[in-house]
Every structure is written in C-alpha cells, then in structure tokens.
C-alpha cells in the first residue's frame, strides 16, 4: 500500500488536481501527499478540499509553489473547519493575500488538529495576528521574498 506520494513539479494543474482528488476517494492508505509546483490554482484547490470532507487518512498535504489565491484559501479554510485528520498543510510561495489569510485565520480558531502550517505572508503581520487570535495550536512561518 502507498502511504506517501511525492508528485512535485509535474504541472498537473487544476484538471490533474481534480483527477487526483477523485482517485483519493478510493484510497484509504495515503497519509502524505506532495503536490508542490504543479500549477494548481483555486479550482484545483476546491477539488482537493472537497476530498477533505470524507478523508480519514491524509495527515500531510504540501502545496507550495502553486498558484492558489484567496479563493483557494477560502476553500481550504472551509475544509479545515471540519477536517480532523490533517496535521500539516503548507502553502509557501502561493498567491494568497490578506483576504485568504483572514479566512485561514478564522478556520484555525476552530481546527485544533492542524499543528504545522506555513504560507507566504506579504506584510509580516501574521505573527501578531496569530497572537491576537489566540491560535496557540499551530506554528506559522512568515517571511518576505
């Protein structure tokens, strides 16, 4: 059984993300999935997050260096409100702005399972906001390019 899969740099895009999310519905052993640098945008993020509603095994999802923006962040925020298995989600070097960060911040007030997350934060105020929101269960990394 496959428990970890690293498909970084395969340019699967949104359509590939949708097909992969569909395939995950029948897989009950995968715990770690790397989809870094695959040109995944908001539509692909939606496909992946729809999978979270019934996913019971995936604990780590790596989506760094994709084209996910605020809409995709909102999809992840909605999924994180109910998902109780994902422990690590990385969104380094994506296109998430202030609105998307706010959506994720709200979801992290509810989700206590996610303990490792990273994303690119443009204005470096995420650490202050994390403290203000009392999000104690998560380490968030922020940096400027």
Q: Along the 145 residues of the chain, how does pLDDT read in single tens digits?
A: 889 999 999 999 999 999 988 888 887 888 999 999 999 999 999 999 987 766 678 888 899 899 999 999 999 999 989 888 888 888 888 888 888 888 988 888 888 787 765 554 444 445 445 444 444 444 444 433 3
Q: What is the pLDDT of residue 11?
A: 96
CATH of the domain at 114: 3.80.10.10
pTM: 0.81
Q: What is the pLDDT of residue 54?
A: 66
Contacts of 23 (CB under 8 A, 6+ apart): none
Q: What is the pLDDT of residue 132?
A: 44
Q: What is the pLDDT of residue 119?
A: 52
Contacts of 76 (CB under 8 A, 6+ apart): 45, 49, 89, 91, 103, 104, 107
Q: What is the pLDDT of residue 6?
A: 96
User: How many structural domains compose the chain?
Assistant: 1
Nearest alpha carbon to residue 63 among 52, 51, 72: 72
Q: Domain of 99?
A: 4-141
Q: What is the pLDDT of residue 70?
A: 92
| Other CB atoms within 10 A of residue 38 CB | 23
Tell me the sheet residues that pair with 34. 6, 62
């Amino acid at each position: 059984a496959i428990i970890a899969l690293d498909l970084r740099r395969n340019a699967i895009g949104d359509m590939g993300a949708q097909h992969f999310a569909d395939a995950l519905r029948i897989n009950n052993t995968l715990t770690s999935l790397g989809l870094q640098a695959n040109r995944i945008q908001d539509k692909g993020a939606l496909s992946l997050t729809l999978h979270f509603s019934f996913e019971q095994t995936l604990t780590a999802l790596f989506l760094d260096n994709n084209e996910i923006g605020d809409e995709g962040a909102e999809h992840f925020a909605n999924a994180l409100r109910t998902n109780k298995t994902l422990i690590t989600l990385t969104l380094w070097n994506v296109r998430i702005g202030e609105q998307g960060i706010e959506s994720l911040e709200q979801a992290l007030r509810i989700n206590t399972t996610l303990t490792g997350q990273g994303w690119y934060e443009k204005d470096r105020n995420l650490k202050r906001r994390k403290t203000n929101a009392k999000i104690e269960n998560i380490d968030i990394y922020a940096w400027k390019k």
